[in-house]
Amino acid sequence: MNMHWIDWTIVGCLMVFMIGIAAGAHKLTRSVADFLVANRSCGRYLLTMASGMAGLGAISIAAHFEKFYEAGFPAVWWGTMLAPVSLVLALSGFVIYRYRETRVLTMAQFFEVRYSRRFRVFSGMLAFTSGILNYGIFPAVTARFLVYFTGLPQELVLFGFNVPTIAPVMLILLSAALVLTLSGGQIAVVVTDFFQGQFVQIALLVIFFVIASQISWSELITGLQASPPDQSRINPFKQERTESFNMWFFFITAAINIYGYKAWQGSQGYNASARSPHEAKMAGILGEFRGQVLFLMSTLVPIYIFAMLNLPDFAVETAIVQETVAGIGNPQTQKQMLVPIAIGELLPIGIMGMFAAVVVAAAVSTDDTYLHSWGSIFIQDVVMPLRNKPLSKKAHMLLLRVAIFGVAAFAFVFSLVFPLNDYIFMYFQITGAIYLGGAGAVILGGLYWRRGSVEGAWAAMILGSIMAVTGIGMRNIVWPFFLQDWKLKYPQLDWLQGLPDEFPWNGTYMSLATVLVAASSYVIFSLLSKRPPVNLDKLLHRGEYAIEEKGHHPVIEANAPATLKGSAAKRSFSEKCWLRLGVNDDFTLGDKAIYLFKIGWVLFFFMVFAIGTIVGLFADIPDSLWIKWWGFQVIATIVVGITFTVWFLIGGFRDLVAMVRTLSALKRDADDDGHVSKDDHLQSGK
């Protein structure tokens, strides 16, 4: 066992602290809106830290370890092409601003308002099914990560039976997440995720510096240079044999990210928890800077581990790691657990416990968020719309808690029986596509296109789902079982022998095909529909339908008519420029400074990427220059990461106090439970 009693004490103290915080948050939960979206009372820093922690997850750490160990620094380079996409999406408040303006509690509630009740039920079932399948592997990957990292035995004897150790580990982690979630719903999730996020930020910085102190920069480069010439971990243009996480992976990911931005509902409670649309937008802008510390851990640590396993000075540790990995039967599990096992041989007592606590915090924060999301979606978007009248508050809260418990039970069983034989990211993409394939078009069309219709929504969601499920069936059932069996039975058929042993498309390519079919279907069927355009002002509570909220001014465009309040006709040239950049009256001087820094930071790295890529396509950039660039980027990330960790710590506690005060004094609206009346429908349709 790699863990000392001091290490286990650190993990235990974190768990006890989180449960204590959740118990306090329980007192603030007094309504369905409290349970679902913290009654829309969260500030930007609280949201940034809490939602960021919810999206981290131990499984995400494992997935990033897997990706960057496989591809090294070049994965960072090609990932930079996504930077302008993220910049535009964050600065414009793309989707999230308008979604928050609708004041809905879930995405499928928006679907009912925008399209129809039947479509809400259908999309709710689709989101729920896709979500729990996607989430179903989380507990097992997390538990396996902890088992191999801590050095626990692979099996335990319980009541005379041999039980895989991951089973009790999963049970403990899911039980902790259930306690947090059931105690106070989204309020408890936000508060505990915030504290875990602050702990993780600080712990990751400490862990990174410890690892960096044991392997110098020169040793790191020496280890990376042991890569084969066509699988370079330093030069992005020497990766001919890096198939899974190459340039095309990131090109396709960029397109899918735009299409499906905010469509995934794994953390749907956060999408509506901001105290105003502006705070939701600012949280998105600040999110990248919170992620700088995560970059140091999830990106650089697996790169350091690759170097360690190729350095003579770490021959003893490497032998132990290789022996442990060789004892794992599943080749894909070997890839997933290599980095965690190696880290366990590198960290000293105390720091081991700190890293284990980070993994536990990441696991619990993601578990409580996903349990809350999928359980809430099942009740809000499947059970409730099938009823002709709203539930009582007591019955509503009970059903939410029962559904959340049911999701946890499913995840536990599914994780025990499902074999994961693909990269984690690939599994995420294809299971997510069951819902996301059509949801992206339905959301974008619903928020931004008046002509988007019920028929278009049905076509996109149905065809997108069929495409995704067909891809899963072909890749995981038809191809490996039936086709390979036929090749063995009928060797005389030359055309069968010429087929590849593996399915030619991975999850990324199948997701792209699904997106193209669904988006085209939405546009075509909407244009063929004879329904009149919808009233987007009513949907977004603008104009005569406006609802006053603190920190939310009416949306004014740069070319707005003179009849609007504070119209563009009376504005100076500089004010018009700010408006064209997406900066309205909600922005303070500090907000504008953050905005400009965000633009400068992203554009600097993207310009380097653009110039470097153009040069690299026509000339050979020496590895020595790449080494200098990676050194600069690491130093810049460290400086920004430390600065924003301190900043978010202060701002987050300020927002937390403000939320508690708001919820303590707030008069609850009993009708704010996600129920949609007939008067709220913008289109009538089946």
Q: Do 207 and 326 share a domain, yes or no?
A: yes
1-15, 508-522, 648-662: which has the minimum mean pLDDT?
508-522
Question: Do residue 673 and residue 556 come from a single domain?
Answer: no
Flag the least confident range among 392-401, 448-457, 547-556. Answer: 547-556
Question: Whole-model pTM?
Answer: 0.78
Which tokens belong to 298?
A: 């999830």
Residue 10, pLDDT > 90, answer yes
For CA atoms 84, 85, 86, 91, the dihedral sign is positive
Indicate the pLDDT class of residue 658, thresholds 50, 70 and 90.
Answer: very high
- 486 occurs within a structural domain: no
Q: For position 525, what pLDDT does the model report? A: 93
678 pLDDT more than 70: no
* Separation between Cα atoms, residue 340 and residue 357, nearest integer Å: 14
| Any domain includes 685 | no
Q: Are 594 and 282 in contact (CB under 8 A)?
A: yes
450 falls within a domain:
no
CA 567 from centroid of its chain's CA atoms? 38
Average pLDDT over residues 230-248: 68
pLDDT tens per residue across span 129-160: 888 988 888 888 888 888 888 888 888 877 77
If you compute the radius of gyration of the chain from its CA atoms, what whole number of angstroms results?
25
Answer yes or no: do 142 and 210 share one domain: yes
Any domain includes 337: yes
Q: Are residues 561 and 645 in the same domain?
A: no
For residues 598 and 581, membership in a common domain is answered with no
581 and 600 both lie in a single domain:
no
Answer whether residue 677 shows pLDDT above 60.
yes
pLDDT classification of 680: cutoffs 50, 70, 90:
low
Instruction: Give the pLDDT of residue 178.
Output: 92
Residues 260-283: pLDDT tens digits?
777 777 788 888 888 888 888 888
pLDDT band for 89, please (50, 70, 90 cuts): confident
Domain for residue 453, yes or no? no
**pLDDT per residue over 95-133, tens digit each?**
888 888 888 888 888 888 899 888 988 988 888 988 898
**Are 566 and 625 in the same domain?**
no
- Spatial contact of 336 and 62, defined as CB atoms under 8 Å apart: yes
pLDDT for residue 629: 94
* DSSP-based three-state secondary structure for 330: coil
Count of structural domains, the chain: 2
Tell me: do 632 and 563 sit in the same domain: no
Judged against a pLDDT cut of 60, whether residue 603 lies above it is answered with: yes
The reported pLDDT for the residue numbered 106 is 82
Q: What confidence tens digit (pLDDT) does each residue in 361-382 have?
A: 988 988 999 999 999 989 988 8
Arithmetic mean of pLDDT, 14-31: 86
56 in a domain, yes or no? yes
Going by pLDDT thresholds of 50, 70 and 90, the confidence category of residue 422 is low
Listed residues 585, 608, 631: the one ending a domain:
585
What is the C-alpha separation between 337 and 318, in angstroms, rounded? 14
Q: What are the angstrom distances between the C-alpha of 52 and each of 46, 86, 283, 675?
A: 10, 15, 10, 29
| Residue finishing a domain among 585, 609, 627 | 585
Closest CA to 334 of 319, 323, 347: 323
Residues 146 and 223 in one domain: yes
User: Is the pLDDT at 354 greater than 70, yes or no?
Assistant: yes
Which of 540, 566, 585 delimits the end of a domain?
A: 585
Backbone angles phi, psi at 267, to 5 degrees: -125, 40
Tell me phi and psi for residue 549, to 5 degrees.
-135, 145
Percent of the chain past pLDDT 90, that is, above it, reads 19
Farthest-apart Cα atoms in the chain, separation: 81
Residue 111: count of CB within 10 angstroms of its CB: 30
Does a structural domain hold residue 547? no
Report pLDDT digits (tens) over 506-535.
556 777 788 888 889 999 999 998 888 888
Looking at residue 375, which CATH number applies to its domain? 1.20.1730
430 burial type by CB count under 10 A (0-12 exposed, 13-18 middle, 19+ buried)? buried
Q: Tell me the residue range of the domain where 48 lies.
A: 5-436+593-680
Together in a domain, 563 and 629: no
Structure tokens that stand for 52 in this block:
């960021």
Tens-place pLDDT, residues 181-229: 998 889 999 999 999 989 988 998 898 889 888 899 999 999 988 887 7
500: pLDDT confidence band, cut at 50, 70 and 90?
A: very low
> Could you tell me if 635 and 580 lie in one domain?
no
Q: What secondary structure letter does DSSP report for 274? A: B
| pLDDT range class, residue 459, cuts 50, 70, 90 | very high
82 falls in which pLDDT band (50, 70, 90)? confident
> Average model confidence (pLDDT) for the chain?
81
Say if 393 falls within a structural domain: yes
400: pLDDT strictly greater than 80: yes
Could you tell me if 391 and 351 lie in one domain? yes
In the chain, the percentage of residues whose pLDDT exceeds 70 is: 83
